[in-house]
Structure 1
């Protein structure tokens, strides 16, 4: 899954000059080494700053999935579009 994500990321975005920050997860270092992007091991610091954001995204995604687990994809899509309009208008 990590390899697939990285491949899609590299196809869709210019990450040639990007330095990926990784923790002790060996599979991340292996995949990055195999595909060539620069990476740097960082146990603390900048990497820790973004983790709460990803945890919140994961929590919200799980919550959304639970709410729409039995809905048709078109229903979920309509709801997301309406929510995006509301969110952008109020913020």
Structure 2
């Protein structure tokens, strides 16, 4: 079984998480069909399997980059000069003088 792959996800689809997940599901199904097909051992079949695998990897990489850019930044450690943030600075009186 050898068929064209160009129609899946070409264009503006896949830009959102739902679109990308849908496209991934379609590509995984298509990949499964290609791998389990009689033509999987032919040059054309192996080429199609490689193309689908490459597209799956590209979509996963794109999703990962989006997750990294939309993730909240980690809490930055406090600077060494900001030690007295608990309200004790200036509350003690030196009576020895």
TM bucket (normalised to shorter chain) is: 0.3 to 0.5
Identify which of structures 1 and 2 has the higher relative contact order when contacts are C-alpha pairs closer than 8 Å and 6+ apart: 2
TM-score (norm 1): 0.32
Structure with more of its chain in strand, by fraction = 1
Tell me the TM-score normalised to structure 2 length: 0.30
Q: Between Structure 1 and Structure 2, which shows a larger proportion of helix residues? A: 1
